[in-house]
Amino acid sequence: MKLTAGLHAEYLSFWRKKKPAVLFSTLFKKFRSILERNIRIMELMADIGDKLSGEYIFDRQYIYTITEELNNLLRQHISDLGDLEQHKNTELFNSFERIHNRIREEISGKYAVSEIPFTRFPEELLTAPNHTLDELGNENIIMGEIQNILKLPVPDGFFITTSVFSDFMKYNGLVPHVREYFDRLEKGEEKPADKVFKDLRAMILNGEFPKPIVWDISAATENINRKAGHDLVSYAIRGCASIKEKGSAFKPQCKTFLNVPQRETLNVYKEILADLLCSPELKHYPEKDFAVSASFFSMIDSGISGFIRTLDPEYPEKETITVGATFGLGGGLKDAIGNLDHYIVSRDPPHHVLSMEVTRKDRMLTLRREGGTIWMNIPHYTCRAPSLKPSRIKYLAETAIMIERYFKRPLEIMWCFDRKENLFILRTNLLSIRNSNSNVILPVEAAIRNAKVLFSGKGMVVQGGIATGKVYVVRNDEDLERFPTGSILVSSQTSPRFSRVIRKAKGILTGIGSPTGHLAAMAREFRVPTILNCGTAAKELKTGDEITIDAACNVVYCGAVMELQRYGLMQEDLFEESEEYLLLRRLLKHISALNLIDPYSRNFTPAGCRTYHDIMRYIHEKAVQKVIDLSKTYKHRRHVPVRRLETDIPLGIFIAEIAEEIKPGVGSRIREEEVNSVPMRALLQGLHESGMWSTKPLSVDMGSFMSSLTKTFSYSLSGPNHTGMNLALISEEYMNLNLRLGYHYTIIDAFIGDRSEDNRISFRFFGGVTDFSRRSMRVKFIGTILERFDFRVESHGDLIIGRIKKAAKSRMIGKMKLIGGLIGYTRQLDVQIGSQNSLSSRVEDFINIIERTMEVDGEQHDK
């Protein structure tokens, strides 16, 4: 209360000409504590990410402890911002409570049933509150991940959640009947059960849906119609039954209804329920608590359909893929047995066809105009033709192995090619392998004993798993473009650019890199076995070397240890399927995801915070803003904490030093050489040494470029009068600079110290004076430059954000110099870049000049 009263007094003092009641240094300490806590919160978020790598053994207690610490830090954060801004942040606190409750619900496993929607689109699964496994069942979740994470083509569609099932059952009073049915089955009263069975089936088929369900499903189908551009979409509908009881052996089989017209979808859903609940199979599996979800995928008019098994279930040691294929729809596979072409394909790229058996295919299942399917005869001149070309077999094998790599299990995948030869994944099931566990332990022990270890314990595991394959060393963009599917990516360092090929990579090894960087996050997202920071060990590897990575044990073996790879595929309990892993991953969505990116967007509000990271970001932004405002209020006072930077370059920068104590009487100006902040000095060096700011013609190629820049943009506009007051908060290792130059606005937040783990730079750039296309070119230019120098880049309209972290000090200093050059260059960039060609040449010009500037202590910069 005292503080608040003091702050009021401070503001009023502007009018009353009184000394401020609260010293700037006191408020600055509050700001410092926000910055320091930011680092701790970031560390904890990174720590959770680390635990997902598979390298650590953790338990639920860890999850309770770390979330509790985060809760406390966030509460303190909100309170500190309140002190700094002199008002209570009720709205922000409400957002915090909302997220906190979600986290509590996730941990306790209890959530409000009313929150489960009736329908979900696959793309929603990325951000949905994640009791989705219960809502949708494993089969549908797998399809969601194939679409959302692996970005593979899945037909447009949506899922019906288990709450439709439970509401339908309750609405029609079916629950007591089901209980009675199962009770009688349990007691062995088969005859009465038969009668109940018939009654139950009739009741289900005559049942009605509550109105909200009808509306929701109708809205979902309209959405699909809009995507399709017509309202004649028909569906492939498939039920997915799951037993809630733990350890249940029952795996209910559901059939797929093909080409269901929209008007029939609800009736078909009732048939699915009737089939499941009245299945004679249930007599042998008397579990009661099961739930039913369903997938509604728009029907694909397929020319060829089939299955692909990523491993032979009977003879896994053969290391082969089996493909079955026929003409027409996949629903005909069961009836087409004997009429299927079979291909045996090598699991290793380039997936040679080892043998094929092409049969005579007399008929194929096709779509019937009024719904459903119909068998059609295949003309005699094509019935003996192979259903698949070698290129398609290879494509199918690559795709299937990519999916298997992600799920770390042998799989059976149903697929089809439509009439335009586009591949669609229709369904994916885990494949049971004969005697899987007992047959792999003994061979793997011997294989490991005999295998030659290339290096062990050298790096940091960011994603566990086993990968065998050929090394492909990536040194530059050209190497990346040529990256062969199924290879192991080896590089001296990490780069966000690797995300382009991450789906193709079997494994990743790098010489340097951070376990909490972007590549690490991507490797976890795609579950690619990855070891970073292997040092010089990675340099010994050459393109074409065959190796095996055991990322869980941090060992790299020479050659392909196939026993180890099979062992990886056949583990009984997969870490990625454990409750703790899934919980931690779900929690990360409430904790680490960042939605508030642009401080000038409409959702950059307390209510717009959806995760702890959002709250942290919001508080950081507001705290910085507040300190800038406060420094204006205080600037005419005697103990000036903010000093104007004396420099030849008209940046209009004021420096506020974040020190334990503000030194009195330091004067109102600070010379460049007095600035002892590592990031700030590097930034200024970048500006000076690159010559990018110069308004005079330059002697090098850049001269003509720079002078032409200035022709269309008045000098005065970029002069000090128009730069306003730009504030840099600095300490020895930190810099936060808010820079408005002309119409551009730049925010740089950087920490550069001796520990690579702490180092980070974020560069945000937005604003501009030209039309959209030129602004867009500018965004491309900055994005290209930042990407070329290993920044992780995001662009949102006119805003571009580049981030880099966890690199060594010398490398980070080089990056700050680059940013210095970029600031000088981009103040009027958009007026210059007119075409794609000029963009490319500008990029090259810029790089040629900046590379010389970026060299630090004789180190060659890594481009």
- For residue 281, give Cα distances in angstroms to 145, 252, 277, 278, 836: 30, 8, 10, 9, 64
Closest approach, Cβ 73 to other proteins, in A, equals 19
Residue from the set 96, 424, 472, 567 that interacts with other proteins by CB under 8 A: 567
Is 246 among the residues that bind other proteins (CB under 8 A)?
A: no
Report the residue number, 106 or 271, with the smaller CB distance to other proteins: 106
Residues 712-731 within binding reach of other proteins (CB under 8 A): none
CB 100 within 8 A of CB 194: no
For other proteins, the closer of residues 83 and 563 by Cβ is: 563
Interaction of residue 571 with other proteins, rule CB under 8 A: yes
- Strand 530-532 and strand 546-550: the pairing is unpaired
What are the two backbone dihedrals, phi and then psi, of residue 348, each rounded to the nearest 5 degrees? -85, 140
Residue selected from 85, 479, 580, 732 as contacting other proteins according to rule CB under 8 A:
580
Q: Is 69 exposed, middle or buried (0-12, 13-18, 19+ CB in 10 A)?
A: middle
Q: Between 437 and 840, whose beta carbon lies closer to other proteins?
A: 437
Nearer to other proteins, 317 or 445 (CB): 445
- To other proteins, the closest distance from the beta carbon of 61 in angstroms equals 4
Closer to other proteins by Cβ: residue 464 or 814:
464
Q: Which is nearer to other proteins, 78 or 551 (CB)?
A: 551
The least CB distance from residue 620 to other proteins, in Å, is 28
CA distance 365 to 304: 10
* Residue whose CB is less far from other proteins, 173 or 457: 457
What is the total count of residues that contact other proteins (CB under 8 A)? Answer: 31
**831 vs 723: CA distance, rounded Å:** 18
Q: What is the maximum alpha-carbon separation in the chain?
A: 100
Tokens of 41: 């919160």
- Stretch near other proteins under the rule CB under 8 A, chosen from 89-97, 117-125, 488-496, 568-576: 568-576
Of 573, 661, 673, 857, the one binding other proteins (CB under 8 A) is: 573
DSSP string covering 782-826, please? HHHHHHHTT-EEEEETTEEEEEEES--HHHHHHHHHHHHHHHHHH
Q: Could you identify the residue written with the tokens 């069961």?
A: 334
Rg for the chain, CA atoms, rounded: 31
Q: Rank residues 461 and 609 by Cβ distance to other proteins and give the closer one.
A: 461
Among 27, 52, 397, 448, binds other proteins (CB under 8 A): 448
CB of 668 to other proteins, least distance (A): 52
Q: Is the dihedral of CA 817, 818, 819, 821 positive or negative?
A: positive
Site string for other proteins, 455-494 (x = CB under 8 A): --x---x---------------------------------
- Report the distance separating Cα 473 and Cα 702, nearest Å: 34
Choice from 1, 16, 17, 57 touching other proteins (CB under 8 A): 57
The CA distance from 118 to 462, in Å, is 37
Distance of CA 162 to the CA centre of its chain: 26
Q: Which of 517, 502, 273, 279 shows the shortest CA–CA distance to 405?
A: 502
From residue 62 to residue 81, the character string flagging contacts with other proteins as x (rule: CB under 8 A) and all else as - is x--x----------------
Following DSSP, what letter does each residue of 98-161 receive, concatenated?
HHHHHHHHHHHT---GGGS-SEE-GGGGGTS-S-HHHHH-HHHHHHHHHHHTS-----SEEEE-
Among 281, 445, 481, 629, binds other proteins (CB under 8 A): 445
CA distance 253 to 279: 10
> Applying CB under 8 A, does 553 fall inside the site for other proteins?
yes
Contact between 745 and other proteins per CB under 8 A: no
Q: Output the smallest distance, CB 452 to other proteins, in A.
A: 17
Nearer to other proteins, 59 or 370 (CB): 59
Shortest distance (Å) from residue 581 CB to other proteins: 8
Among 108, 377, 391, 438, binds other proteins (CB under 8 A): 438
Q: Find the binder of other proteins among 35, 52, 55, 405 (CB under 8 A).
A: 55
Number of C-beta neighbours around residue 177 at 10 A = 17
Q: Does 58 bind other proteins (CB under 8 A)?
A: yes
Q: Which residues bind other proteins (CB under 8 A)?
A: 51, 54-62, 65, 438, 441-442, 444-445, 448-449, 457, 461, 552-554, 567, 571-573, 575, 578-580
